[in-house]
Homo-oligomer: A and B are copies of this chain.
Amino acid sequence: MSNSKLYKGSLSTIILKLLAENNKMYGYEMTQRVKELTQGELTITEGALYPALHKLEADGFLEVEMQKVDNRLRKYYKLTQAGTQERVNRIEELERFIETIQGIVNPKPSLG
């Protein structure tokens, strides 16, 4: 039941935000963290996550570091300097969107 719809365009912002708070994370870890943070409301699918990570890396916002744990390979991502700046922009944009859409969904009556 439930499971909030992921509005297209918000995923990479979520990734940048997670990495800003955790220094380095690997893909699978992100899917689990989002489940925790949202009490299961939001599920990041791997089909969406991995291509998004690759794109952020190609754009120079993330850098990669491989690590073997329990004989399984993990691909750790962390923010580059450009990624740190991009995160600020994206969060700002997301917050502006939320304010903006609340101006439509919960319009304040004009004064006067």
Question: Looking at chain A, what size class is its interface with the partner chain?
Answer: 20 to 34
A34 at the interface (CB under 8 A from B): yes
Which of A5-13, A60-68, A74-82 touches B?
A5-13
A95 at the interface (CB under 8 A from B): yes
List residues 45-73 of chain A with CB under 8 A from any CB of chain B: none
A24 at the interface (CB under 8 A from B): no
Q: Are A14 and B98 interface neighbours, CB within 8 A?
A: no
Q: Are B100 and A14 interface neighbours, CB within 8 A?
A: no
> Which residues of A does B touch, CB under 8 Å?
2, 4-10, 13-14, 17-18, 21, 34, 37-39, 41-42, 91, 93-98, 100-105, 107
